[in-house]
Structure 1
Amino acid sequence: MRVVVAPDSFKGTASADRVAAAVAEGWRRERPTDDVVLAPLADGGEGTVESFAVAHPGGVRHDVEVDGPEGPATSTWLELADGTAVVELASASGIELWGTDQPFLASTYGLGEVIADALDSGATRLLVGIGSSASTDGGAGMLAALGARLVDADGDAIGPGNAGLAEAAVLDLSTLRPPPPGGVVVLCDVSNPLLGPSGAAAVFGPQKGAEADDIPLLDDNLAHLASLGSVDPSTPGAGAAGGTGWALLEWGAVIVSGAAALGRELGLPDLAASADLVVTGEGRFDAQTASGKAPAYVAALAPGRAMLVAGTIEADVSAFMATVDLVDLVGRERAFEDTLDALGEAGAELARLVIEGMGS
């Protein structure tokens, strides 16, 4: 039997490549003769650069010191042979770098610094993964780092984060660095608009420490920023990464499904077509998963042959022939504190289900 293991990362606990290796190890304990192929995925969030490095082993890594959401951070981007630069927001302006509960202050300035470094190095095309954001600043910090002027009525630069947006009087993009000649492609796992009940503040703000009373002000500040630009805030994906999608659209970028783009790089459609079973997963499988996250993409590639492992399962899993919830399998403490070992148990459990009659 041929089995393809194509999970996303388990945010904050294990990268996609380590998740895939752990699940595969558990599977092989039960079914040692199976051909198990690893294809770790990402959907634009953390692990995007690493997943592209798997697909392009000749890629050159560049480390950049940036202004992260809470101080200095080191972000890595990947230079591909054709001049494409792969950049991820998570390592520059990501939620894992943000340890406070002040949702009005986090900025995407670090992401702009990484992009600028790639441009300075001669990148001819940009792939930008924007998942796992810490901020709700509408990408204002990123635009500023790339040369845009976002100033108040006195001509002074506004403050960082969403809070600074309330002071903005002018968004001048005439000084913004031009995109590379091959364009900018945004890898995104959601299609949310910038504003409203499905927007950046309402849907993602609570994940970044926003209380219910904060949401209207966060949203109003984003609306004020949008009024200074030209991109329709209702554009799908504009609300991704706290509105960073909107800012990148202002720069002329196009937004695509991150999981699908990386899947093509890995040859996953062909791998899935040739596999008897495909195993995917993520840390929390919830209602947002169906909007473009990696497990939903994988399930669509292997209808009737997809299996799922997740830290917790909180949504309909009818698209999968078998599932394992780590918390149910090994308990909450072990699932979160010894995730890789628990994932090995999950891989073994899925293999046992096959042995017991789900298809061998």
Structure 2
Amino acid sequence: MLHHKPAQFFTVVATMFVLFTSNVRAEAAAPKLGNVTILATGGTIAGTGASSTTTIGYTAATVGVERLIQAVPELAKVANVTGEQVFQIASENMSNEHWLTLAKRVNVLLAQSNVDGIVITHGTDTLEETAYFLDLVVKSKKPVVLVGAMRPSTALSADGPLNLYNAVLLAASADAVGKGVLVAMNDQIHAARDVSKTNTSTPDSFKTTELGMLGYIQGNKPYFYHVSSRKHTTDTEFDISNLQSLPQVDIVYGYANMGPAALNAFIAAGAKGIIHAGVGDGSLAHKVVPSLSAARKQGTVIVRASRVGQGIVARNGEANDDELDFVAADTLNPQKARILLMLALTKTGNSKEIQRMFYTY
């Protein structure tokens, strides 16, 4: 049996108390990390090239989600990260069925208390479309962040690892809650509704040229300067939980000397909606108006969008939408107008109701 002098005993107890309280303070000071699930779908961020200087002509969607996570060990500093491989495709092959599968999985995960946010790795070609689709159908205020890369993982100065790190940091941030579906690229934060890919190959391709990005990611922190005023996620009227497919909606591109051949082919193939990506303010060539009008009278919904890329398509501006019973796309580009029209058609075929949706979302 050990015997201690009273002074020594109290010294030992005091030392133990100091160590204990220091540990408690350290644990209290350490920030609690959020739980982020990465859903991988393929794309350039998971691509590989023949050499370190191969930035075109590479093979997309070759790297699995576990390797993506392992390649960025710094992720462990900002979140508790898990990964799932949902698809392994180049994003030009993204389909309506892929979107429904992905959205349903996102909603299941976000309903779980142990998931604080989701990151979706995605090819850049259709990233903006997937982001907007999710913006309309995700039923949670928790962050959902899409991320990609313009250079494959094997390239010098590959942008994928830092983009992924920023996306996970953003998805784990309380600042991103309730902001809608976001896109994190090139140290910038964009709203799903308004962002577009603007360059075929450079790392700064994703921009919100007209309405402005939402903010930056700098020094391991997101900084928001704007938020989208359009309704999204939990505030939308769209429910895809029981949907197995989406209505067929196609895009007809406007150009000089345009004729109705493509439009007529889409109608014959069963299109329930047509996005007319017109010149200027959604202008309609005289040769196409009869076919568009006939299609609408047969029940196909016609939306006038613009190929320009910026600006409002004015209702009753370059066409009498009231008389023709057409819909104006507002500021949505043709590919995003297609997404909203598909979802709108799951609710109604009434053009006035659909016009309301285009001014709401």
TM-score normalized by the length of structure 2: 0.28
**Greater helix fraction, Structure 1 or Structure 2:** 1
User: Whose RCO is larger (CA < 8 A, sep 6+)?
Assistant: 1
